[in-house]
Every structure is written in structure tokens, then in C-alpha cells.
Structure 1
């Protein structure tokens, strides 16, 4: 029975069974070895019809229990079904597709309106010895209620909007926002040849006619690497590899936002890469949430040196080129590095493996360990300061951070801890500005820092933002325009048409949005407005997209449409903070204070520890002249966000106006610590002191 397949047998099965009639069959007429390698890959099995050849899970009337969920998996003829009981409600579902293959296989269920949803109970396809061959649950128990957006039928588990773009080839979402339905389609169900080689089909047709046409961008690794030792670094010889390879792989192996429906668009053009922001990354740049590989890799010395994906991975099978330390020894000479005098662990032990220290693992989806790709050395002091995992403690889990710091000093006394990203975030503003301007620094660090510090830089050093609008790197130009929302409209007039006519879509959209928010859009019509509206349409099946549409409608003067979309966003996700904030702002602006309070009450039911919502409700109570209620909420906001000077300032100011001088004095102590040079804070402190002494100002 297929649910008893072992890991070794799994790859045998993958190699001998035909995937399905596809463009790969055409390609195999010439590229036999490459296609046969691909057929053993995860890409080939990224998504397939739920047939006996493809389903690994045990559907022989087995039952699964977890908290308030019961599932019965069964098969009728060649169709696979799930009888699901949740919170006392029972429903029957048919599995349409398999999703992935190892170390787990998920199952897609059609729930109506063209929606495919990823079931929250998956099959562990590892061997029995590894703990597999079982059903297990992917989500937390609190997500099991259907109204929760993380429930398997919720917006964040929707295949059409969250998964399909990378698991199928030439996918078009086809979302219809007015009816909340999809008319999605793809050209190939899995990750096939043209997912990477954009003109593969044209190339194949030309070959059959005896002609020669390119299959797309040149993705091959060029040149060679001379191994490095302790005395000198590895050296690349020959022509450099095109950046297209990393961009092509990174298009899916990254956390990014798709900006249009281009079937094979480029990164930093048709896709916008997520920056190194919390909580996605730790403060030292280590991966925290499921952001995949590219954001980590772009931080690395490997990327800076010109190493590309296929230097380590077979791009068609997905397997590593060599096993264990032999892979790293292609460039880093084994006599120098694969020795106890370097790694200080018994030869052949887990601690002696290069990846244990330089590519530590994080497990996602319960059983899927994935390795870091920034190739750093263990930095236990920085790990402690940034609260990121210490690689040493992954093995030595009976020890603590202090032990790790001591061991590092003892075993590698000459080791100097270095974390460019962590250190620059602790620097003073002039140092940050110089870092952003320095094109020799990692671009992703510079872009992330610029966006992170945009508010302060916009006030103190606006020229550095304007300079980035002219950067040769589209990543920096995009971040420059995102930061430009903190500039004066007059600063942007000379840059407007340059940004709106940029060759990269991500930059044009960022420029349009910045100019729109600043009220500095030129009167001359441009194509970018249509591109921006198409981008909003592309995102409209998610709460974030609906919120952006609402903001756009409000700026365009249509408050009714704006309110409608903010509310739709909250129907999709009743804990989506930006929608609450923008809806509250709209209602307060219309003097609908009671409605604003009702909306904020809903928000605080979902997000009881969110300081911004407490602060907004406090301000709204003030507008209703409910002073004591306002004071309570403003105080709560200040306590929840002690580093936010504005929250403490407003709490102190209202306390003072209501005659609570001691409360105002206590809040002023916090203010004097976090914003000692702020002129508003200085004036308030002076007023409080005068009140205490009964002196006129």
C-alpha cells in the first residue's frame, strides 16, 4: 500500500513513475538526462492530481484525533475523501490535489467559488524510523474555528492566493473581487521547465523545425572556483555567472510580493522582496519566520563573491552536488577546514559538519528542517543580544548562552564577532546615513535600514533619501521611494517623472504610492496609475490588499468605498491591525465617534495587547468628552509601549489637563528618559513643574 512507502522507496517511486503528460515530455526528446533528473525532484511533485500514483497518505478508513477535531480518511474507487468533524460540525470533502511530497504531503480541497484550500492535517512521508508514516496537524488548536483566518478554510490557507504562484507554472490567479471567487488556471500543474526557462516551449518548437532559439535567460554557472585555505579566500576564475540564476531561483525561494500577472517576471521588478524586518528576521539578520532562502543568502559573503545556487545544488534534481563536507570542500580546502584543529569536534561527528555551525537549521511545518543561507560563523554574544538561536546550543542543548560564549573564547581565541546588520542598527544616525550611502555594503542591509529609519532620516538627512532615488540598484530605488513618504512634497517634484518612468515596475509603483500619499502626483497622466490599480486588484483577495484599496479610495475622495473595503478586510481577518487603524481614522474624520469606538472595541477583543488601538480609543473618548475613559486607555497604551514617546506624552498631557498632576509627573519621568531633547516634551515638563509649584507659566 502506498502509505507504507519508506523514504528510500519514495525516490524509487518518483524515478520510475511517469509524472503526467506535460511540456517535460517535449523537452525530453533532446534533454533526456535533465528531464529524468527533474522527474525525481520536489519541483516535479510540487502539485499533482490526487490519484493512486501520487497520494502517499493512508486513506484506508483511518481516523485522526486532535483537540476538538476528528478526521476520517477514506478512499472510494480512485477518489480520496476526508470526513471532518470540527467544533461538533461534520462535513465531507474530496481531495483534488496533492501538494508536495517530502518530508510531508498536504492535500488541497475545493470549497466552492473556485477556491482550493490546504487541509491543516498533513501526511508525514518520512520513514517510520524517522517518526513518519502518520497523519499530523500543522496548525495550532486555537486556529480550528472556521472564523479564524488561519483556519484551513481561511484566507491565509488559500492555495489560489498564497501557494499556487510558486507550486505551478504560468499561474494566473483570476480573482473576481466583486463576487469573492476565483477563475484560476495554470499552464503546467507543477514546477515545470518553463517555470525557469521562460521560452522553453518556443525553444522546443524551433528545435523540431530544425531552428535554434533560446529557451530564455542564460542560467548556467560560469567559470570555476579555486579552493581557498586559511591563508587566502577561494578565487573565481573565468567569466562571471549572470545574476539571472539567483533571481530566477529567488523568485520563489523568498518571501516577496507579486506586483502583476507576468508569467515569468523578475525579482526587484515584477516582484518586491520583503526586507529584513521584525518579526520575520531576528535583529542579527537570522531567519525567524518562514521567509525561505533568498533574504538570508543575499546577506552572505558567498553571494558577494559570486557563488550561485547551482554551485551547490543540481538545479534539475534539486539534490546537493556532493554529500557532507565534500560539498563545501569544493571551494574551502579540506586540509584547512575539514579538520579538528578548525572545528574542534571529533572528525565525522555532527559538530564537525560545516553546516552545523555555518548553516544552522530551523524547523517549519512541524517536521521540515531548513538551513540558514547567510553562511555566518557562530556569534554567541550577538545571538544573546538579538535573542536569536545560538547554533552551538542546537547540539549542546544542556548548556546555556554563557557557556557558549566561554567556549568560543577558549576554542577560537582569535575569533572576532561580527554582525554588520546587528551592529549598524545600534549605531548613531550619522553612521547609519554613511552606511546607506556606501554602495560597497550589502544592498539588502542598506535598503532595510533606510526603510526602518525613514522617519528620522526624513527629518534629519533627507538628501540621503533623494540620493537613493537615483541608485543603480532597483532594490535601493524602491526603498528610497518608500522612505520618500517622509519628505516634503516640494522635495519630490523634481524626481516625480523619473520615478514614474523607471524601467522597473516595483520602483514605479513605490514612486506612485509615495507621490500619492504626499499629494505630489503630477497632473500629467501616466500609465502608472493603471499599473497601480492593477496591482491593487492583484492583491484584493487578501486583507492587506483590501486595506490598500480602501486607502486608495479615500485618498481619491470616495470615503464610502474606502469604508467598504476596510470592513471587507476585517471580515477576511478580524485581527488585521492596519484595517482597524485606517477605518478608525476615517470614522473619526467623519465625526462618527460612536462607530469608531465600536470598531475599536472589536479590535481590542482580538488584539487586547495592542498599544495603538488603546491609544486610538483614548483619543476617540476625548472627542466624546469621556475624559476618565480616555485617561484609562491612554495610560494603558503608554504602559504597553513604554518606548513610544507620543503615547506617554499624550497620557501626561491629558493627566495634567484633568488635574492629575502626580500621574502627569510619573509619565513625565518616562518622557524625560526616552525623549529628553524633544521640544514638546521640554515644554510639558516645564508646565508640570509650574503646576506643582502653583506658578503661572
Structure 2
């Protein structure tokens, strides 16, 4: 089946309606067009019909309380789906992807499309394919859950459409909570990457020359490197715009604006290397795709671009096997037993097995790491990330792989120190942040991770990054600046709000707004910020951010509506529940705040923050014993949170439980000897000496 995939793609693309721009482009670019026709880009999303549907719609599927009877008649596809005893009829409107799986989109009304949780495994039968299977976890994804196929996180308009169509306008109305989503064409057409392709084609008809969009060429050449000398690029540098264009979709990011075709920082903001998206050593954990991994790599730093390895039109790698890597890394040095220490032709002798280990997503879709690090079993064990050696040597353990690596490659020089620098002393972190040879994404992520400490102990370092040449660093610096004194931000405000990159302007506006340090002349950025909030308000995080903005603007009623809407989308979205409870407590609506927190604990039992806030709320209601029980449970759930202990001691002391308070205070003093609030509490509550008159 895998060998037949190009033929299958070509057949589907030829029979399905072709994008208009592809037709006009093919006249002058027949080879590129032919390769594109065989790509998964060309058939990323299609109208469900006889030519596009790969699944067996004469069959059925049943598993753990769910039953699907697939239907196909008169060129239409659908299913009768039974969940928790309730049967409903659904019509399939579009196909989504082709290999190694194909999903199906259901029209829910209100402009919403949802991705069905039962997909078709399009791999060959010999590899376990040609079957229906579930994408979700049966015991967790039940109707009403945000992760259920009808839930907010399986919504096509906000989660998927951007990268499976060309020139998408999401068209979300935050006021009406409805979509009017539009696009130029289904699938990833020419103008998805070549933004001026149609104008370029029209100009060519009249003999004129007009650029097709950004410069996406890979230029120059690479001189192969050995174990002693890395590969070297000669000639004109390749265009960095290519990484921006590919990265717009091959990344986990947040859309900033409805405008199309801009640079990454103007159209999207890239997610940083935070848990649980990434492991602490930078390895990919969740489904974050490629860009965040690649931007960490020494290959990116050296000037490698996507098309050095991938044909941009077919999407395939330019060469097979180790020959791809040998374009730059001389086979005589690397593709030999003395380097990889495995038999030639074995899985262990493949460059990608060690340097691009794979993770399987969506049950069947194996994707490779793109940070190209050297296996480091000791760091992987500390970070809890997968050990590449154990992917093959499944009968071994981490101790074995660590010993093997240290014995076989004792002097290897390319192991990453990203894991250790996050835990290093301040001087080491400062040196890392100030080193322009370090990947900007690593430095930006560190800046945000350590923002409170850096802002307190090295404020000049944070301020210096506001002037960085890197968009990533300037954006992260403005987020980290939230912990700088408000009066120190004034000198940077105008520069931040007039930054050429939208992501930086939005980050500056948000920080200045929260620190109440916005200049009066910020209306233009305010309008950009409000458009951004409306763009992301179709998800719980966006609604919550919109509510925070309303609160800071004195619109508490609007904030409450937005927070309730966020919780309708996802009852388990903790930030929305915390902000709503704070709002209600601020308005002295303590009974309602208690209900909001109790509802949260029903879905997230044992959540320390909810327990702690409910305890404080119950104190306000004079429900003393339940309040103390909550405060104790919160400290038990989060024993390293000294603030929880501090407030529990005060609560016990002031409600007559003074012996208990004194005992707990002694424990806290021993556990947190340098904590200033614990020491102050000890001074405040210790018995005063009795003096003689």
C-alpha cells in the first residue's frame, strides 16, 4: 500500500476538483505541479465523494459503549452513531487527510465542522491498516467532554482548518459564538505558500514579470563535514522566509490576526518549549509538529532550510535513507560501523534512528523529531523523556543504554545542555541568555520560564532583551517584563508598542495593560489587541484572556459572561474557574464563588488551588470547619507551597485552633527556613515575654 500511495494521491487529486491556481500555475510550472499533485498537501481536505473517501462505508465499528454503522448511498456518505445508548444520524461532508489515516468532518450547524473520533487506518493491511479505529480514549471522551469529538478541542474551524485549506478566514463572531468560515480552496494550493501566485500568473499572461510572493529559494551549497569539522555552507545564504512559510502550519502556534500571508510573528505566535508540550530536555512530547523542534537545532543555526531535505512540492525527502544525511555529513565519516556501532543496513545504522527518534500520534501516525540532538540517556532519564536506544533495545533499561553510550561514544561533543541550564545558577542562565550563538527559541523559552527570578535578580538583563534582534526574544522579554517594576517599563513602552512585529506589540500591550502603565496614545495597538482577542475567543483560553481584558477595562459583567462561556466550552479549564471565583469573591458573592469552586472540584477532585480558594471563601461565609478542612487538603496536595501553609496557620490561629497553628508553624519554619512570610508569621504569633511592672 505504501508503494501505491503516490498513485493513490495522484488519482484522488486528478479526479477531485483542482484549485484554480494550480491549473494556471501548471502551464508554466508543469514539473512542480505534477509533484504537487502527488502530495498530501493537494488532498489535505476534500468534499466527501466516491473519489476521495478511502474508508469502508459498508462496514461498522463498535467499542466501549460506542457503535457506528457506516452508510453509503447515492454518492453520499454518513453513519448512524450510538453513544451511551443514544443513536443519532450524521452526514459526512468532507474527508480530512489520506495517509496513514483519514478523518471525516461532520457539519454541526452554526457554521461548525467537527472531526469524527472514528477514523480510517489507510495503511496496508499487513501493517495493521484497512480498518476503522478510535482516535480518543474510550473511558475519557464521553459526550459533553471538551475532548469528545463534538467538543471544542475537536472543532475544525479553530483547530484544523487553517492548515488544510488555502486562504482561510475563520470568520468567528465572539458576540454570537458562531462561525462564517470561508476559504479560497480546499487543500493546500499554490497560493498557500506563494501568496501572490494568482497575480503572478495573470501578469505572466501579458508578458509581465511579478513576484509570486516571498523569496523561498534554497541557495548556495553545502560542503560535507566530517566528525572533526561540521558541514559548511558556501555561496549566498538561503532565504529564511522559507522556514517562516513552512512553519506557519508545521508548528503549534496561536493565530494573532485574521490577516493572511504574513511572517510568523505577524500572523502567529509560536508556542515556547513549555511542559507538557515538550519534555524538559527539549524533546517533543505532545503534538506540537516540527518548527519548535527544528528551531532548537544546530542545523537551523547553521542555515539549513526545509527544502535542503524535503522537496517543497511533493513533500517527500529528496533522497532515501542515509543518503539524505550524507548530502552534508560525509558517508565516509558517518555511515560506517565505527561511527554508529551497529551492523550496516540495520535499524541502528540509520541516522534517523538515533538523531531523529519518532513518536506516534493519533494512534498510527509516526513523526520524527527535528532537533537532531545526540542521544543522551542520562539526561533523558532525568527529564523523563524517551530514550532513543530503548526504542530498538526494548529488552534493556536506561542504565544499560547510559553505560553503552558512555563506553561507545565517550568523547562526543554535541549533547545539548538545555536541560541543565534551566536548573542552573543565575550566572549560568545569564550567560546562556546573553550568548547570541544560542538558538533564539531556547533563550526566549528560558526567559519566560525564569521570568520572576530574572526580573527580581537581573532586571537589566530582561530589559536588554526588549531590544533584541530576535522577534522571539523581544516577544518573550515583554512577557517576562510583567515581573519588572511598573515605573521601569515607561522608558520602553513606546518602543514596544511601535515594534514592527505584531506579536511583540501585543505582548507589550498586554504587559503594560496589566501593570497599568499604558501610555495614553495606544489606541492603534489597543484595536489590534481587541481584534486578537476576538480571533482567539472561540476557545476557553481565548475567552478567559478576553475576560481578563474586560476586567482590566472595568467591564465586570462582560468578563463574567466570557468566563461562563469559557466554562461551557470546557468545565475543566482551571484558569477560567479561578478568575471567575476571584471576580465573585471581589464582589462579595461568596456563596456563588463557593459553588463555582465546588463545581470545579467535582471535575478535578484534589486540585490544590481550588481547595485553597474554597477554604478562603468558606472562611468568609463563616463555615469554619469545612474551610479548615479545605485549607489542610490544599496544603497536603501541594506541600511545597509555603503560601498555603502560611494562610492555614493564620486561619487556625484566628479561629481558636492555636495549638494546632503553633505545631504547623513549627513544621513550616523547619521546612521553609528562609521564607520571609513564614519568618514574619513566627515573629507575629510567638508569645510575647511577660515583664514585671
Superposition TM-score, scaled by structure 1 size: 0.96
What is residue 196 of structure 1 aligned with on the other side? 193
- In structure 1, the residue matched to 2:4 is 9
Q: Which residue of 1 aligns with 2:499?
A: 502
- Between the aligned partners of 1:117 and 1:48, the Cα distance in structure 2 is 15
Partner of 1:431: 428
| Counterpart in the other structure of 2:134 | 137
Tell me, in whole angstroms, the C-alpha distance in 2 between the residues paired with 1:610 and 1:671: 25
Greater Cα shift, 465-474 or 253-262: 465-474
After superposition, give the CA deviation of every residue in 1:602-637 in whole Å (9 maximum; x if it has no partner).
111111132111111121122223232222212222
Q: CA deviation at 1:456?
A: 2.0
Q: Does 1:266 align with 2:283?
A: no
Asked whether the 8 Å contact 2:373–2:415 carries over to 1, the reply is: no
Q: 2: CA distance between counterparts of 1:13 and 1:50?
A: 16
**Matching residue of 1:31:** 29
Q: 2:439 aligns with which of 427, 442, 465?
A: 442
Residue 39 (structure 2) aligns with: 41
1:401 to 398, 402, 415: 398
Asked whether the 8 Å contact 1:672–1:681 carries over to 2, the reply is: no
What are the residue-to-residue correspondences of 1:31-430 with 2, within 5 Å?
Answer: 31-60=29-58, 62-415=59-412, 418-430=415-427
Q: CA deviation at 1:667?
A: 5.8
Please state whether the residue corresponding to 2:265 is helix, strand or coil: coil
CA distance in 2, matches of 1:667, 1:154: 46
Tell me which moved more, 372-381 or 614-623: 614-623
**Which segments of 5 or more consecutive residues in structure 1 lack a partner in the other structure?**
1-5
Partner of residue 482, structure 1: 479
Whole-angstrom CA distance in 2 between matches of 1:97 and 1:193 = 21
3-state secondary structure, aligned to 1:48: strand
SS in 1 for 2:610: helix
Q: What is the aligned counterpart of 1:676 among 669, 673, 676?
A: 673
The answer to whether the Cα contact below 8 Å between 2:669 and 2:679 also exists between their aligned partners in 1 is no
Aligned mates of 2:128, 2:643 — CA distance in 1: 52
State the 1:298 CA deviation. Answer: 0.7
Distance 1:125 1:308 in 2: 30
Farther off after superposition, 25-34 or 454-463: 454-463
Checking the alignment, whether the CA contact within 8 Å between 1:655 and 1:664 is kept in structure 2 is no
Counterpart contact for 2:546–2:562, Cα < 8 Å: yes
Alignment match, 1:646? 643
The aligned counterpart of 1:3 is: none
* SS class of match (2:477): helix
TM superposition shift of 1:340:
0.9
Question: Partners of 1:496 and 1:340 in 2: how far apart?
Answer: 58
**Offset, 1:353:** 0.6
Structure 2: distance between partners of 1:685 and 1:420: 41
1:226 offset after TM fit, Å?
0.7
- Separation in 1, partners of 2:669, 2:427: 24
Distance in 1, Cα, partners of 2:376 & 2:631: 40
Deviates more, 1:344-353 or 1:610-619: 610-619
> How far, CA to CA, are the matches of 2:429 and 2:187 in structure 1?
44
Does residue 659 (structure 1) correspond to residue 654 (structure 2)? The answer is no
Cα 1:527–1:537 change in 2 (3 A) is: same
Q: Which whole-Å CA distance do the structure 2 matches of 1:663 and 1:303 have between them?
A: 56
Q: Secondary structure at the match of 1:272?
A: strand
CA contact (8 A) 1:379 1:417 kept: no
TM-superposed deviation, 1:672: 4.0
CA–CA separation in structure 1 for the residues paired with 2:669 and 2:392: 44
- Tell me the equivalent position of 1:461: 458
C-alpha contact (below 8 Å) 1:649/1:668 kept by paired residues: no
Deviates more, 1:575-584 or 1:134-143: 134-143
**Which ranges of structure 2 fall in alignment gaps of 5 or more residues?**
none
1:564 matches 2:561:
yes
Q: Secondary structure at the match of 2:266?
A: coil
User: Cα distance 1:668–1:512, how it changes in 2: closer, same or farther (>3 A)?
Assistant: farther
* Root mean square deviation of aligned Cα: 1.6
The whole-number CA distance in structure 1 between the counterparts of 2:18 and 2:358 is: 37
1:494 Cα deviation after fit: 1.4
Candidates 588, 599, 602, aligned match of 2:596:
599
Shift of 1:171: 0.1
- SS class of match (2:226): coil
Residues 1:520 and 2:528 aligned together: no
Shift of 1:647: 1.9
Deviation at 1:306, TM superposition (A): 0.6
- Greater alpha carbon shift after TM alignment, 193-202 vs 676-685: 676-685
Q: Does the aligned pair in 2 maintain the 1:269–1:504 contact within 8 Å?
A: yes
Kept after mapping to 2: 8 A contact 1:409/1:415: no
Q: Distance in 2 between matches of 1:125 and 1:663?
A: 63
The 3-state SS of whatever aligns with 2:264 is: coil
1:533 paired with 2:530, answer yes
Structure 2 vs 1, CA of residues 221 and 44 (structure 1 numbering), >3 Å: closer, same or farther?
same
Task: Check whether the contact 2:584–2:592 (CA below 8 A) recurs between aligned residues.
Answer: yes
Report how far residue 668 of structure 1 moved.
4.6
Mean CA deviation greater in 352-361 or 483-492: 483-492
Give the deviation of 1:100 after TM superposition.
0.4
1:667 and 1:632 map into 2 onto residues whose CA distance is: 17
State the distance in 2 between where 1:660 and 1:348 align.
Answer: 73
**Secondary structure of the equivalent of 2:54?**
coil
2-structure distance, mates of 1:347, 1:578: 53
Q: Which moved more, 1:165-174 or 1:624-633?
A: 624-633
Pick aligned residue for 1:542 from 525, 529, 539: 539
Query: C-alpha separation between the residues in 2 aligned to 1:290 and 1:95?
Result: 25
8 A contact 2:257–2:266 mirrored in 1? no
Contact 1:168 1:190 in 2 (8 A): yes
Report the CA distance between 1:247 and its aligned residue.
0.9
- Give, in whole Å, the separation in 1 of the partners of 2:5 and 2:224: 36
